[in-house]
Amino acid sequence: MKLTDFKALTFDVYGTLIDWESGMVAGLKPLTERLPQPLSRDQILEAHARHESTQQRQTPHQHYQALLATVYRRLAENWGVQVSWSECLTYGQSVRHWPAFPDSAGALQYLKQHFKLVVLSNVDNESFSHSNQKLAVDFDAIYTAEDMSSYKPSDRNFEYLLATIGDIGIEKHQILHTAESMFHDMEPANRHGLTCCHIYRRHDQKGFGATMTPATKPSYQFRFHSMAELADAVRAELGG
């Protein structure tokens, strides 16, 4: 099996292309700086993952900006800090400030020459539009949680992908699902029989950071530590 056997790369965005963990930690500073005892980066991220996952499961129709605002309030309650709803809303709108990984835009621009590029993301369309500017590439299709009123790892998101991607001329066996999150992406992609490429951004860190621990050990057919490594592997297969 080769990377160039595929015709489309379907991407998780946040954690894979956008450095959402740095974005979250920065966006939560107005809250975390008020704590009597400092928390480690991973403690902050793991608490966020727990509340975000619960909220996504309980309110799958909730717009992602509103969902993040609710997560901010839950974290404040969890940590015993009083916050206003306007502060919560400010955090809900923070996705527009989350940075891209330094290698994402260049790798995507190269990969666009050889694959259709598709987004399958737990985000709202407005927030993604700001991230897309940072990624500096025109995706062939964009499927968001807002479009399907559902959040990964729900099977609904992958069913939507597979029901819709044929409109751009792609069949299931031509998809390489490319993502960092074992919980949000690798597990459900396995259930739907997709070939997977793991972008292991946290390879030098312990734990799962801003994502929940997966219930199983998902399988994947390719693994790279960055998007740059993936682009280099494609380049090598093509003899360039």
Q: Are 196 and 179 in contact (CB under 8 A)?
A: yes
Rounded to an integer, what distance in angstroms lies between the CA atom of residue 49 and that of residue 151?
13
User: Which residues make Cβ contacts (< 8 Å) with residue 214, sequence separation at least 6?
Assistant: 182, 183, 186, 187, 208
Give 240's contacts (C-beta < 8 A, 6+ positions apart). Answer: none
Ramachandran angles phi, psi of 37, nearest 5°:
-120, 125
204 as an active site residue: the answer is: no
Q: Tokens in use for 111?
A: 């990969």
Q: Which of 5, 12, 147, 167 is catalytic?
A: 12
In the structure encoding, which two tokens stand for residue 171, read together?
């069949």
What phi and psi values does residue 223 have, to the nearest 5 degrees? -145, 135
Check whether the bond before 153 is cis (ω within 30° of 0): yes
Distance CA 150, CA 165 (A): 17
Count H helices and E strands in the chain, helices first. Answer: 11, 6
In angstroms, the CA 225 to CA 124 distance is 27
- Report yes or no: 114 and 4 within 8 Å, Cβ to Cβ: yes
Active-site residues, by number, are 12
